[in-house]
Amino acid sequence: MESFYIGIDIGTTATKAVCFDINGKVIREFSHSYPMYHPKPDWSVQKPDEILDAVLACIAEITKGIKPEFISFSSAMQSIIAVNKDGNPITDAVLWADNRSHAWAEKLKNSEQGKDFYQKTGIPIHPFSPMTKIAWFKEFDTEVFLKTYKFISIKEYVWQKLTGEYAIDSSMASGTGLMNIHNLKWELDILDYLNIQENQLSTIYSPTHQSKGLSDNFLYILGGGDGALANLGTGAMKQGRIALTIGTSGAVRLPIDKPYIDSEMRTQCYHLIGNQYLKLGAVNNGAIVLQWLKESILKTDDSFETLFEEAEKIPAGSEGLLFVPYLLGERAPIWDASAEGTLLGIRIIHSRGHLIRSTLEGILFGLLSVTEILLPDLDKRHGTTIMASGGFGKSELWLQMVADIFQMNVAVSETTEGSAWGAVLLGMKSIKIEVPDDNPHMKLFSPNPLNKKVYEQNFDKFKRVYPLLKEL
């Protein structure tokens, strides 16, 4: 009898449920989307129960007619929800994109205490961090702060409703700015600073932690954060590989075997399991920029496939049109929540297709600026293969642009749902079955030498724009 393994990926814009066989072949998949709300300037929130309902609907659909060996979770990171003693939300889910704590974070970032916190956690002081979000509640919403039983992420909220446990895995915990990356425990100095107790956070477990559902007979595996699992699911925990993910936001992640702390506070460090860590830089501005372009600027109902077809007709470099996509401020490598987007070089020759292509290029330039820090040695970088995951992996145009802009080989698996497959791999480890060594179903993209010069020139311009505008 065939065995089935389910990965649930709780993303920023949708939850996806993917059913795999033991070799990583997708048997079926479902997704349910939900909105992001912006009730005030700089606020980005979601309704916890809208996400919970989406997860439950995905589980119900994906399990019809089958009995999975387990259901394992991946989740977007850096959300925070305040809940009461009954486990019910007293706030919205405050997302990674929320900038309300910007002023407070900037002040702490430049202090000796902020630098000390970064040394302990590996997480830069920035409004994306749950640590800064809790600080905001403490300072600006005292009523909520004093009523809060626990501060948890959306994944913890879903897990608690399914199993009755308040549990967080070490990869999700390492992204909070509250966990010591060196000993994998909550950092008491930071909790004291925030005036919260350890029992106001979930218990930290291994990502292989398992529990039975309260209302069903499913075996649930805790899993991890989407970034770390994308590395695992795409085979990018191996040497000579680096993971590139573009979903709503984007990230580049390099596998390492011990914690890494950047001297300039430009990178993050996550733990996955055992001696597997990641040195990474995450950017705010991934596909969310394309969504903005489609809805707010182009005002079109055309599919992304149609838009990409237009972009494909435009030459590399967009004939001088350069887009710096800092629409939501930016995380790595500049860590400036007040950074702004910029469109340079626009001329009368530029069309809708140019706007689309320059947006795609601008997103990739932002991710290349992170990659330069993670892999500063040019020869080593060019000898490293990019393992692609996320929605962008469905676009051959975008994948070829990655190869051309980064001047690196790009590999993409049959399934672009690397995080869901990574969650399944952890589940397999949890129930002690042999884990496949690699995903053999790879498509490769190599750099086009004809596009090398124009992209080098445009990237050089890209890097110079932000510092110049910062001075104005």
Q: What is the mean pLDDT of residues 419-447?
A: 86
Residue 345 has pLDDT above 70, yes or no: yes
The arithmetic mean of pLDDT across residues 13-27, rounded, is: 93
pLDDT of residue 439: 61
Quick check: 334 pLDDT over 90? yes
Domains of the chain: 5-226 (3.30.420.40)
Sorting pLDDT into bands at 50, 70 and 90, what band is 217? confident
Non-local (6+) Cβ contacts of 403 within 8 A are 386, 409, 410, 445, 446, 447, 448
Rounded CA-CA distance 73/207 in Å is 9
The letter for the amino acid at 227 is: G
pLDDT confidence of residue 389 = 84
What is the mean predicted confidence (pLDDT) over 165-184? 98
| Mean pLDDT for all residues in the chain | 94
User: Looking at residue 418, what is its pLDDT?
Assistant: 84
**pLDDT band, very low/low/confident/very high, at 438 (cuts 50, 70, 90):** low
Per-residue pLDDT tens digits for 285-308 = 999 999 999 999 999 999 999 999
At 392-403, the pLDDT tens digits run 888 999 999 999
The amino acid present at 184, given as its one-letter code, is L
Q: Residue 440 above 70 pLDDT?
A: no
Whether 437 shows a pLDDT value over 70: the answer reads no
pLDDT the model gives residue 390: 78
Q: What percent of the chain has pLDDT over 70?
A: 98
22 versus 52: the higher-pLDDT residue is 52
**pLDDT surpasses 90 at 72:** yes
Q: How far is CA 398 from CA 181, 281, 374, in A?
A: 34, 20, 22
What's the rounded mean pLDDT across residues 84-113?
95
pLDDT for the residue 85: 97
Alpha-carbon distance of 406 to 408, in angstroms, equals 5
Binning pLDDT at 50, 70 and 90, where does residue 450 land? very high
Can you give the pLDDT at residue 435?
77
Identify the pLDDT of residue 441.
62
| Spatial CB neighbours of 182, under 8 Å, sequence gap ≥ 6 | 120, 259
Residue 289 is predicted with a pLDDT of 95
pLDDT digits (tens, 9 = 90+) for 237-296: 988 999 998 988 899 999 999 999 999 999 999 999 999 999 999 999 999 999 999 999
pLDDT at position 339 over 60: yes
